Structure 1
Amino acid sequence: MRKWYEMEACNQGPIIGGQVYLVRNIMGYPFEAKMNEEEQNALMAAVCYAVRQSEEVLQKKFVFINFSEVRDYEQQALIGKLAIPPQMFEKGHEAGILISEDESISVLVNGKEHLCIQVSCPGNHIQEAMALAGQVDDCLNQYLKYAFSKKYGYLTSSPLYMGTGMSASYLLHLPYLEKKSVMHQIEKQISQYGFTLRPHFDGQTEAPGSVYRMRNRKTLGLSESEITSALEHLAGQLAEQEEALARQCFNEDRLSQVDPMYRAYGLIKYARKLGYDETMACLSLLHAGDLYHIWPEQAEICPFAVMLNMADAVLSASAEKNISSSERGRVRADYIRRNLPVLDASEAVSS
C-alpha cells in the first residue's frame, strides 16, 4: 500500500501536505508527567482496545508499536516519517503508537499528553484531514472519557493546547521565496495571525530542501474551523506568491531554471556516496521540476517521499540495523538510485 506521502498530490503544488493532531487526556489518569508505569500500561491497553473496537468504523488496519520493544533509531524513524509529532514525543516512557497501513492516521499513547491523534493528508486537503481526525476522536471517545471543561475546553498539561487541543499545519516547498531572502519577513507577518513558519527538517535555522511547516500556535478561544480556515488562507497566499515568482523566473530565462534541475537529477541518480544536505538541495530542485512539468509525464518522481526515506534513522530502520556515519553516504546513494526513475532524455522538456 502506498503511503500518504507517496501520493501524487504531494508533488502538485507548493503545498506538499497537511497534518492535524488532537491532544486528549483521559479522565481517571494523572497527567503523563505524574503517571507511574502501571498507569501508563493500563492507559495503553485501554486505548488499544478503543481503537480496535472502532476499526470497522475507521476502515483502517492499525498496527501497535510498543516503544519499549523497538530500537531508538526505529522510534526516530517514525518521527522522521511524520507519524509522531516530535514535540509530543517523550523518550523513556512506557509509550507506543497505533498506526494505519498508509501511515495517514496515528494515535500516540503516553507521549507528553495521554493521546495525540494525528491525521496526515497529501496536498491541500486540511479540511478532509480535520474531518477524519474528528471521526477518529469521536470513535475513541465512545470508549474513553476525555478530560474536558466547559470553561477551558480540553484539559492538557501544556497550556499551548488548551481549548480545542488541536494543532494544524501545512508543509510548504518554497525555494523561490527562499532565494529572494524574504522568509524572515514572511515569518514575522505570519506570526501576527497566530501562526509560525519554521524550517521543517532538523529544526535548523535554514530549511533543508526548502521545506517549511506552517502551524497554529494558539488554540484557546478558537474553533477548529477557524484554525483550519486561517491556515488554508495563509498557506494559499504563500503558495500563490511562490508560483508567481517561479513563473517570473521561467519566463525570464527558462533554461537557467531547468539546467540545475537536470544537474541535480544526474548527481543523485548516479552518485555512489551522498551527504544529507547536498541530497536535500538536489531533491528540492527535483520537486520544483516536477511541479513545473520539467520531467516526462510518465516519470514518477516523488521527491518528498525520498526526502523522508533517506534520513539517517529511516535508512537504519529500513536496513534493520544502526548504520554508522561512515556508511550512510553509500546507503543513501544506493537508496536513491533504486527509487528514482531513469528519465528518457528524448522526451525531456529542456527548453
Structure 2
Amino acid sequence: MMRFSTLLKHPADWMTGKGADNAVVLTSRIRLARNLAGVPFPGWARKEQRQQVLEELRPTIEGLSCMRDGFSKTLDSLSSVQKQVMVERHLISREHAARGEGSAAIIERRQEVAVMLNEEDHLRMQAIRPGLDLSSAYEMLDAFDNEVAEAVEYAFDPELGYLTTCPTNLGTGLRASAMLHLPALVISDQIGQVLQAVGKIGLAVRGIFGEGTESLGNLFQISNQSTLGESEATILRRLERVIAQVAKHERNAREKLLEDDPDMVCDKVGRAYGVLRHAWIIESKEALNHLSLIRLGGDLGFFPEESVLMCDELLMEIQPAHLQIQNGKKLGAEERDGIRAEIIRSRLQTLEAPDIHTIKKQEGDDDSPDLGIA
C-alpha cells in the first residue's frame, strides 16, 4: 500500500488540470453515499458496530482492481495535520477528519477515486476529473460502485432508493459538483446576480471546502441539492448545462473587463504580482486572492500559459497543513505566514512582470448567457 509521503509527493492529474480546459472550471466531482443493509448508520452505531463495518468494508474496497497499490489508513492512525492535508486536497471531508476510531480513508493511486469509510454514511465514494467532465467522473465512479455492490448488500428501498443518514441524499445518493474560478464576475459585481440565479434553479453554491465554508481565491463550488425522484443522468445533464453557462458568463466578463477598463485589469494583476513577488509575510486568504488574479492574468495573456498550473499547485502547497507537513512540525500562524511568503517568492522568481503593453483589447460579448434553466 502507498505511504502518506508518497501520496503527498505526487499531485493528482485533476489537481494540475492535465489534458483539460480548466481556465474557469477547475474540477468536476461525483460523490455517492451508500450504507450497508441491516446495520445501524454511523451516527447511531455503537463503537463495536462501526468497527465491524470497517472490518467488512476495508478489505473489500482495498481488493478492488483500481485500488491496487493505493493508500489505505484508519483515521486514528493519522495525525491531525495529516488528516487536514487530505481535507485540503479534497480527498476527505472536514467531518471525516474529525473522526477517529472506526473510520478509514482509501484512495486510488492517482487520487481520482477516494473512499471515506464511516463518515456520515458507511460509504462515501468520490471521483474527480479536471475541467468540466462530470459524465466521465460519473462513469468511473458508477463502475466502482457496481463492483462494491457485488461484494456487499446496500440499504435500498424500492420506492426511496438508496437509504442515507441525511434525507437530502435519499434516492440516487448522488452529489455532483464543479469548482469554478470566477474572478471577473466578482470584480464586475455580477457574482451575486449569477449565484442567485443558480440558487433559484435548485442548485447549491458553496466555498472552496464545501458546505459552511467561504469562497477564497474567487473559487466557488456549484452542486445539485436534490437526489430523490430524478435519475443520475437528469441531475448531471442539468448541472453540466448550468455550469457551462456560468463558465460562459465568466469568460464574457473577462473579455468585457479587458475591453472596457484594461487599465484597471492591468492594475489588479500587476499589484497582485508585486505583492506576491515581494511579500515576506502573507496570510492564506490574502495569498489565495492574489494568486487568483495571477491565474486570471495567465488566462488573459499577461503571463505565460504555464503560470496557471503554477497557481494551481501553489493553491494547494500554501495551505496551513501542507506547510506544516513540509516543515515536519506544527507551526504557529505567524511562522506559516512567513514560510508561505517565502515559497511564493521562490516560485515566482522565474515569472517575469506582466507584459501589459502587448495585451490587445479583446472584443467582448455584451450578451449575458441566459441562466433561467428550465
**Which shifted more, 269-278 or 21-30?**
269-278
- Tell me what 2:366 maps to: none
Query: Any idea what SS the aligned residue of 2:154 has?
Result: coil
Q: Tell whether 2:345 aligns with 1:310.
A: no
1:167 to 172, 175, 179: 175
1:314 is displaced (CA, Å) by 2.5
Q: Tell whether 2:17 aligns with 1:7.
A: yes
Q: 1:282 to 1:8 in 2, by over 3 A?
A: farther
1:52 to 51, 55, 62: 62
**Which shifted more, 293-302 or 151-160?**
293-302
Query: Any idea what SS the aligned residue of 2:204 has?
Result: strand
- Tell me what 1:199 maps to: 207
Q: Which amino acid aligns with 1:211?
A: L
- The answer as to whether partners of 1:177 and 1:242 remain within 8 angstroms in 2 is yes
- Tell me what 1:28 maps to: 38
TM-score, normalising length: structure 1: 0.90
TM-score, normalising length: structure 2: 0.85
Q: Which amino acid aligns with 2:64?
A: S
- Tell me what 1:40 maps to: 50
**Which shifted more, 324-333 or 5-14?**
5-14
Query: Any idea what SS the aligned residue of 2:63 has?
Result: helix
Q: Distance in 2 between matches of 1:316 and 1:29?
A: 39
- The answer as to whether partners of 1:10 and 1:304 remain within 8 angstroms in 2 is no
Q: 1:225 to 1:43 in 2, by over 3 A?
A: same
- The answer as to whether partners of 1:11 and 1:302 remain within 8 angstroms in 2 is no
Q: Distance in 2 between matches of 1:294 and 1:314?
A: 29
Q: Distance in 2 between matches of 1:296 and 1:166?
A: 38
- The answer as to whether partners of 1:294 and 1:349 remain within 8 angstroms in 2 is no
- Tell me what 1:322 maps to: 330
1:121 is displaced (CA, Å) by 1.1
Q: Distance in 1 between matches of 2:313 and 2:83?
A: 18
Q: How far does the alpha carbon of each residue in 1:277-327 deviate from its partner, in whole angstroms, 9 at most, with x for none?
A: 210111110111122232124556432332233121232233332211121
Identity of aligned residues (%): 24
Q: Tell whether 2:295 aligns with 1:287.
A: yes
- The answer as to whether partners of 1:315 and 1:332 remain within 8 angstroms in 2 is yes
1:341 is displaced (CA, Å) by 6.0
1:225 is displaced (CA, Å) by 1.1
Q: Distance in 2 between matches of 1:161 and 1:70?
A: 28
Q: How far does the alpha carbon of each residue in 1:224-278 deviate from its partner, in whole angstroms, 9 at most, with x for none?
A: 1111111111111111111111101112343432343233223223422211121
Q: 1:309 to 1:299 in 2, by over 3 A?
A: closer
1:97 to 87, 90, 105: 105
- Tell me what 2:364 maps to: none
Q: Distance in 2 between matches of 1:187 and 1:347?
A: 33
Q: Give the superposed CA RMSD.
A: 2.5
- The answer as to whether partners of 2:34 and 2:122 remain within 8 angstroms in 1 is yes
**Which shifted more, 296-305 or 307-316?**
296-305
1:102 is displaced (CA, Å) by 2.7
Q: 1:293 to 1:347 in 2, by over 3 A?
A: closer
Q: Distance in 2 between matches of 1:147 and 1:346?
A: 56
1:179 is displaced (CA, Å) by 2.3
Q: Distance in 1 between matches of 2:104 and 2:173?
A: 20
Q: 1:340 to 1:49 in 2, by over 3 A?
A: farther
Q: Which amino acid aligns with 2:319?
A: A
**Which shifted more, 261-270 or 221-230?**
261-270
Query: Any idea what SS the aligned residue of 1:118 has?
Result: strand
Q: 1:153 to 1:349 in 2, by over 3 A?
A: farther
1:349 is displaced (CA, Å) by 7.0
Q: Distance in 2 between matches of 1:156 and 1:250?
A: 47
In the alignment, structure 1 segments of 5+ residues that lack a partner are none
- Tell me what 1:184 maps to: 192
Aligned residues between the structures = 349
- Tell me what 1:116 maps to: 124
Q: 1:101 to 1:266 in 2, by over 3 A?
A: farther
Query: Any idea what SS the aligned residue of 2:31 has?
Result: strand
Q: 1:206 to 1:99 in 2, by over 3 A?
A: closer
The structure showing larger relative contact order (alpha-carbon pairs under 8 Å, at least 6 residues apart) is 1
Q: 1:303 to 1:346 in 2, by over 3 A?
A: closer
- The answer as to whether partners of 1:300 and 1:341 remain within 8 angstroms in 2 is no
Q: Distance in 2 between matches of 1:141 and 1:202?
A: 27
